[in-house]
């Protein structure tokens, strides 16, 4: 996930990227009813999106996956390669575990399916702008199947009580800064805990840790 957290009192600036004009229009009209977000641009493919981002400041990109010229994953990869510090949500029909895992490895801030309820789109956009990771709930089991899953004993037995607190908060989608505030510790200390968690469990990323916790460790509580 990217580290930028939207804190301004002015509306968050959004870019809609989808090759279907009607879908873009639907999202535009949905968001136009909200005072804290504002669509400032639209693009029909990834290349148009990259061109827009070269000249305009945006807080969040809502990005389709299956597009001509550049797919959503290719666009995401290019945005990260250019170090453009914005929030990115993939909004797609693809529930492929491979697509989800690839997007999360690249640092996407949200992966949402297009069949979700419209009002939940706004809820999840606000979560992303606050620095949380959002994933459509029905994707958790699909993603879990693509990840290496150490046993419960391997995870819980190797972690300190503080590390267990941190991994649970990661699973809730909290950023390092949010975890630091909740635990009243320095953000740098949280980063150390996350590093230790990954080293001890053999999980590769905080996303894997979050998914594993949701599907396994949380059920033990």
C-alpha angle with apex 17: 208 to 10, nearest 5 degrees?
85
- Say if domain 12-138 classifies as CATH 3.40.50.2300: yes
pLDDT of residue 48: 95
Q: How far, rounded to the nearest angstrom, does the alpha carbon of residue 179 sit from its chain's CA centroid?
A: 16
In this prediction, residue 117 carries a pLDDT of 87
Architecture of domain 147-220: Orthogonal Bundle (1.10)
Instruction: Check residue 219 and give its pLDDT.
Output: 52
DSSP letter (8 states) at residue 176: H
For 69-120, the DSSP string reads: SS-HHHHHHHHHHTT---EEEEEES---HHHHHHHHHTT-SEEEETTS-HHH
Instruction: Give the residue range(s) of CATH 1.10.10.10 domains in the chain.
Output: 147-220
pLDDT tens per residue, the chain (221 residues)?
333 444 456 899 999 999 999 999 999 999 998 999 999 999 999 999 999 999 888 999 999 998 988 889 999 999 988 888 899 999 988 887 778 888 888 888 999 998 888 889 999 999 999 888 888 877 766 666 655 555 556 566 678 889 989 988 988 888 899 999 999 999 999 999 988 888 777 777 777 788 877 776 655 55
Can you name the residues that pair with 38 across neighbouring β-strands?
Answer: 13
**pLDDT for res 1:** 37
- Cα–Cα distance list, 174 to 70, 169, 177, 184 (Å): 31, 6, 8, 14
Gyration radius (Cα) of the chain, Å? 18
Q: Two tokens at 67?
A: 């597009």
Q: In what order do the strands lie in the sheet with 87-92?
A: 37-43, 12-17, 60-63, 87-92, 110-113, 134-135
Q: What angle do CA 77, 13, 134 make, to 5 degrees?
A: 55
The ranges of the chain annotated as CATH 3.40.50.2300 are: 12-138
Asked whether 88 and 63 are in contact (CB, 8 A), the reply is yes
**67, exposed or middle or buried, with CB in 10 Å at 0-12, 13-18, 19+?**
buried
CA 170/CA 153 separation, integer angstroms: 19
Six token digits for residue 92: 């797609």
């Amino acid at each position: 996930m990217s580290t930028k957290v939207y804190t301004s009192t002015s509306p968050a600036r959004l870019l809609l990227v989808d090759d279907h004009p009607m879908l873009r229009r639907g999202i535009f009209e949905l968001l136009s009813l909200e005072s804290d977000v504002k669509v400032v641009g639209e693009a029909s493919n990834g290349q148009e999106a990259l061109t827009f981002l070269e000249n305009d400041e945006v807080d969040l990109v809502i990005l389709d996956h299956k597009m001509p010229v550049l797919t959503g994953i290719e666009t995401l990869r290019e945005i990260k390669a250019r170090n453009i510090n914005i929030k990115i949500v993939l909004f797609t029909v693809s529930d492929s575990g491979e697509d989800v895992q690839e997007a999360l490895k690249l640092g996407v801030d949200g992966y949402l399916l297009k069949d979700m309820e419209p009002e939940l789109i706004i809820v999840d956009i606000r979560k992303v702008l606050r620095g949380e990771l959002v994933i459509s709930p029905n994707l958790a089991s699909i993603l879990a199947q693509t990840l290496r899953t150490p046993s419960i004993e391997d995870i819980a037995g190797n972690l300190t009580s503080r590390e267990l607190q941190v991994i649970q908060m990661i699973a809730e989608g909290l950023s390092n800064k949010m975890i630091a505030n909740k635990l009243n510790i320095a953000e740098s200390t949280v980063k150390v805990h996350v590093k230790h968690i990954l080293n001890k469990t053999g999980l590769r990323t905080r996303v894997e840790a979050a998914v594993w916790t949701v599907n396994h460790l949380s059920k033990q509580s």
